Structure 1
Amino acid sequence: MQTATLFDLPAIQTGPQGAPATTPAKKARRPRKVHASVPLTPSTTVPDELIRDADWVVVNSSGGKDSQAMLSYVVRRAKALGMLDKVIVIHADLGDIEWGGTKALAEEQARLVGVRRFEVVQAKGADLLGRVLIRFGKLKAKAEREAIEAGLDPAAVKVAPAWPSSSARWCTSDMKRGPIWTLFTKLAAELSHLGRPVRILNCMGQRAAESAPRAKLAEVEIDRSASNGKRHVTVWRPIHGWSDAEVWREIERSGLPYHPAYDWGMRRLSCSFCVLGCEADVVLAARLRPQKAHEYAAMEVQVAADFKHGLSMAEIIVRAAELEAEHGPLRRPPAGTAMAGFVGKSRTAMYLGRRDLLRERLTLAS
Structure 2
Amino acid sequence: MEFQQQRMLFEDELDARAAWESEVDRLIGSGALFVANHSGGKDSQVQLIRLLERVPANQLVVVHASLGPMEWPGAMELARDQAAAADLPFIVAKAGKTLLEMVERRFESRPEVPSWPSASTRQCTSDLKRGPIQREVRRYAKANGFKTIVNCLGLRAQESPNRAKRTVFSRMGISNSVLTWYEWLPVHDMRTTEVFEAIAAAGQQPHYAYALGNDRLSCVFCVMASKPDLRNGRAQHPELFEQYVALEQRTGYTMHMNRIPLLELTA
Deviation sequence 1:249-278 (CA, Å, 0-9, x none): 110111122110000000011100001111
- Maintained 8 Å contact 1:59/1:89: yes
Secondary structure of 1:179's counterpart equals: helix
Q: How many angstroms does 1:203 deviate by?
A: 0.7
Matching residue of 1:133: 104
Q: Show structure 1 runs of 4+ deviating over 3 A.
A: 47-50
Structure 2 runs not aligned, ≥5 long? 1-18
Q: Does 1:168 align with 2:82?
A: no
State the alpha-carbon separation in 2 of the partners of residues 181 and 281 from structure 1: 29
Matching residue of 2:37: 60
Q: How many angstroms does 1:127 deviate by?
A: 1.0
Match of 2:65 among 80, 92, 102: 92
CA RMSD of aligned residues (A): 1.6
- Structure 1 segment 1-80 matched on structure 2, within 5 A: 45-46=20-21, 47-78=24-55
- Structure 1 segment 101-120 matched on structure 2, within 5 A: 101-112=74-85, 114-120=86-92
Secondary structure of 1:229's counterpart equals: coil
Equivalent pairs, count: 247
> 2:226 is aligned with what amino acid?
C
> 1:169 is aligned with what amino acid?
R
Secondary structure of 1:167's counterpart equals: coil
Q: How many angstroms does 1:54 deviate by?
A: 4.3
State the alpha-carbon separation in 1 of the partners of residues 250 and 169 from structure 2: 42
Matching residue of 1:244: 192
With the length of structure 2 as denominator, give the TM-score of the two structures.
0.88
> 1:51 is aligned with what amino acid?
I
Matching residue of 2:3: none
Q: How many angstroms does 1:293 deviate by?
A: 0.7
Match of 1:267 among 215, 225, 228: 215
Q: How many angstroms does 1:314 deviate by?
A: 2.2
Matching residue of 1:201: 150
Matching residue of 2:94: 122
State the alpha-carbon separation in 1 of the partners of residues 26 and 250 from structure 2: 51
Deviation sequence 1:23-65 (CA, Å, 0-9, x none): xxxxxxxxxxxxxxxxxxxxx5114334323421110000100
With the length of structure 1 as denominator, give the TM-score of the two structures.
0.65
Deviation sequence 1:309-366 (CA, Å, 0-9, x none): 331122235x1xxxxxxxxxxxxxxxxxxxxxxxxxxxxxxxxxxxxxxxxxxxxxxx
Secondary structure of 1:92's counterpart equals: strand
